[in-house]
Structure 1
């Protein structure tokens, strides 16, 4: 299946899927030609001549710790240092949750890293920008052609006003390496055992749960001790029930309330799944990695997770695993997704030009090929990329195209306010643990949301 057919760009969450692999010229245009007023925090003039930078050591923090993405990052770092022997990479890895809790302190210290992966939205990137901890990348976006490589709708996910108050507008503070959507992984043999087909719609998925349970199977695998899986479980459910327009409006403060019918309905679904045993017992004490391992070992028919688990599940399950982005209320696939954490240059970077050279190297067309070869989904797929139908890679590629083409991407819910990550993740744990009703859960989200809107 060739996934690079022509299509019109959707209203939100658009990702370009077919671009030339030809390298961009290092002197494509003068800095600032995009109309941005941003300038590097450092006084160093912008240059792409890496050899002129002398001996440089870049400390890089990332959360690419899992399976294929870790393999890709190691390979890209080795290739980078071979191509630029005067620039050494010292890699520091953190889990997503560890990165969230330690990065701001690290950026504020004297030995701050040079390049980091920053989570988009108000809680992380917005807070870093407000504190002056990240450099605007607009000058390098011009010389490396990032503004042309990625659609503006995509770039806006990594933009903030200089004061960190307005998301998706202002300066560019990061470039993303991977694309991602949250969907349903399914065990093909167990579905067949229960006489079921792969789910296409949310209704298919939900109708399968009692059938699987009656067949003696654990319907879903899930672990939320890391907190972030709760965002994916609730977010994918909300996206299908509310639709992309309404769910995206909630995240971007364009309209709606978290106490509306669809958010409450999604919360009610999660509570019911837990009460009925569709979610495994003790899930709030199980890590996401253990849940993925348990699913791979057949201890669950469905797993709601992101495409970043592709390489891990391909290796563990072979052809016995499939993936679906479920169709929602509009009849098209609508789900949580967008781009991976943004690669950003810190304000204390020892050599911002070397940092920009690195970011360009790990996000260009050649890097996309490395990502595909290691079982990952790059933001921009290689021009001639083909994925075999019936394979997990083929499922993910086709679903990625369909969601992107039809405008079904909903930004991650924790982007909504500076405190929404904590409010949402704690709330989902209490919701599925039976300590909070769906009404109490959605009211807590709305209180956080309203407080943020009042302060804007």
Structure 2
């Protein structure tokens, strides 16, 4: 390995993600860290073993990233690396089940003989926290310390890797990520130019731009409401009026949440208004995330509000127009965090291989591939990532990081489904904004950790 390995996001994640660092304590504790951690040269992941047992073994890996996206491409490269360094071991990689299926069936699958050894899974109290509390995830604390992963993925990102009684921020390690992510606005530069629209910097400018598109017969925002990201758009609107105290109360239970306060009321009423004005289609309630993305890729929609996980895929798949990104106009806070977690099944008989797999995905070689394909790696060789399009993403992540507000479905098990269904009803017009907020209020308070 090189004598000095530069980490693409080490300074970003250690310095800019100060919010994560401040939230890394358990909800009842004061923040333990007041300064960003010191960054030295990036540590290398532990070398994978060159010998393996003589008998053939199979490592089952499940994830839900597209093979054409940054994570998918880098993990295919990791598969080649793993099999080359582990003679007699085959990696069976399965990404056919998708985010929704894994999210809905994880508890059942991990409690069966069909469980994968290692799996990509969503972070937060409602997901990884719940599975850790159910005893379905392996406690990987010893491996984290032995392999130095806590020095590769740094600072407050640890908030979503550690859980105690199902609550993130402290306790044992049940997962680790190898990328960052955040929600932004993707836009079709050609359509913006054709209709005389400038990149908006305030919510008012965004709405004025959308009025122009509606007048021209275009639906401004591609939206998936049968799963995500409609509830993330609602959260963006809430965050436009939110402060750090509200985010801490909602995400970390530091004080009771008033779901009829200014921020939540504004978000719900504005979301309904956007549907009424034609900014979002009513039939988006039957559109999933994949259809939304394909609609944007086709040039049908001027904008798509979604996550950085689309970025590498759009770099590959959009060939008919120029596109770019900007943060939600006027917001200090936006949805985002470290990426989804690699978790290891508690009943896996291949835990040694599972940890080697995680190690390889964290290696500078694989991380640099991810970066060059449009991802947000945590341990890449910065000097080897030169694509201007990737640098555009990295710059946006720097701007986003101080205002990271996690995701709206994290605080309680089942809240994702509750948000999806209630936002759907708001879009359909079968719930008023106040009724939707009542429903979310009830579900949140009945299901959050007591």
Scaled by the length of structure 2, the TM-score of the pair is 0.86
Cα displacement (A) at 1:110: 2.4
Aligned counterpart, 1:441: 436
Q: Give the match's secondary structure for 1:12.
A: helix
Supply the distance in 1 between the matched residues of 2:357 and 2:145 (Cα, whole angstroms). Answer: 16
Aligned counterpart, 2:288: 287
Cα displacement (A) at 1:435: 1.1
Aligned counterpart, 1:11: 18
Supply the distance in 1 between the matched residues of 2:236 and 2:378 (Cα, whole angstroms). Answer: 20
Q: Deviations over 1:57-113 (max 9, x none)?
A: 211111123521323222221221112223321112221001112221111112322
Aligned counterpart, 1:353: 352
Written as runs of structure 1 = structure 2, the 5 A alignment for 1:405-416 is: 407-416=402-411
Cα displacement (A) at 1:19: 6.8
Q: Give the match's secondary structure for 2:383.
A: coil
Aligned counterpart, 1:240: 240
Q: Among 71, 87, 106, which residue is 1:103 paired with?
A: 106
Contact 2:223 2:230 in 1 (8 A): no
Cα 1:430–1:9 change in 2 (3 A) is: same
Aligned counterpart, 1:146: 149
Cα 1:335–1:11 change in 2 (3 A) is: same
Q: Which moved more, 1:72-81 or 1:200-209?
A: 200-209
Cα 1:396–1:238 change in 2 (3 A) is: farther
Q: Deviations over 1:96-151 (max 9, x none)?
A: 00111222111111232211122112322122112211111111111111112222
Aligned counterpart, 2:29: none
Supply the distance in 2 between the matched residues of 1:141 and 1:235 (Cα, whole angstroms). Answer: 33
Q: Give the match's secondary structure for 2:382.
A: coil
Cα displacement (A) at 1:54: 5.1
Contact 1:219 1:300 in 2 (8 A): yes
Does residue 306 (structure 1) correspond to residue 307 (structure 2)? The answer is: yes
Q: Give the match's secondary structure for 1:323.
A: strand
Cα 1:4–1:22 change in 2 (3 A) is: closer
Aligned counterpart, 1:87: 89
Cα displacement (A) at 1:174: 0.5
Cα 1:451–1:108 change in 2 (3 A) is: same
Cα displacement (A) at 1:217: 2.6
Supply the distance in 2 between the matched residues of 1:268 and 1:387 (Cα, whole angstroms). Answer: 43
Q: Among 110, 114, 138, which residue is 1:135 paired with?
A: 138
Aligned counterpart, 2:392: 395
Scaled by the length of structure 1, the TM-score of the pair is 0.85
Written as runs of structure 1 = structure 2, the 5 A alignment for 1:13-162 is: 13=20, 20=41, 23-24=44-45, 49=49, 51=51, 55=55, 56-65=57-66, 67-68=68-69, 69-93=71-95, 94-161=97-164
Alignment length, in residue pairs? 423
Does residue 422 (structure 1) correspond to residue 424 (structure 2)? The answer is: no
Cα displacement (A) at 1:398: 0.7
Cα displacement (A) at 1:238: 2.3
Supply the distance in 2 between the matched residues of 1:199 and 1:427 (Cα, whole angstroms). Answer: 29
Structure 1: 5+ residue runs without aligned partners? 27-47
Does residue 220 (structure 1) correspond to residue 217 (structure 2)? The answer is: no
Q: Give the match's secondary structure for 1:241.
A: coil
Contact 2:159 2:170 in 1 (8 A): yes
Supply the distance in 1 between the matched residues of 2:38 and 2:200 (Cα, whole angstroms). Answer: 25
Cα 1:25–1:130 change in 2 (3 A) is: closer
Aligned counterpart, 2:254: 254
Aligned counterpart, 1:181: 182
Cα displacement (A) at 1:370: 1.4
Supply the distance in 2 between the matched residues of 1:79 and 1:57 (Cα, whole angstroms). Answer: 15
Cα 1:74–1:400 change in 2 (3 A) is: same
Structure 2: 5+ residue runs without aligned partners? 1-6, 22-35
Q: Give the match's secondary structure for 1:13.
A: helix
Aligned counterpart, 1:29: none
Supply the distance in 1 between the matched residues of 2:37 and 2:432 (Cα, whole angstroms). Answer: 41
Supply the distance in 1 between the matched residues of 2:328 and 2:192 (Cα, whole angstroms). Answer: 16
Contact 2:49 2:86 in 1 (8 A): no
Q: Give the match's secondary structure for 2:168.
A: coil
Supply the distance in 2 between the matched residues of 1:388 and 1:111 (Cα, whole angstroms). Answer: 41
Contact 2:152 2:378 in 1 (8 A): no
Q: Which moved more, 1:195-204 or 1:298-307?
A: 195-204
Say what the alpha-carbon RMSD is for the aligned residues. 2.6
Cα 1:18–1:294 change in 2 (3 A) is: farther
Aligned counterpart, 1:363: 362
Aligned counterpart, 2:381: 382
Supply the distance in 1 between the matched residues of 2:8 and 2:82 (Cα, whole angstroms). Answer: 28
Cα displacement (A) at 1:450: 1.8
Supply the distance in 2 between the matched residues of 1:181 and 1:443 (Cα, whole angstroms). Answer: 28
Contact 1:181 1:336 in 2 (8 A): yes
Does residue 343 (structure 1) correspond to residue 342 (structure 2)? The answer is: yes
Q: Give the match's secondary structure for 1:89.
A: strand
Cα 1:244–1:64 change in 2 (3 A) is: farther
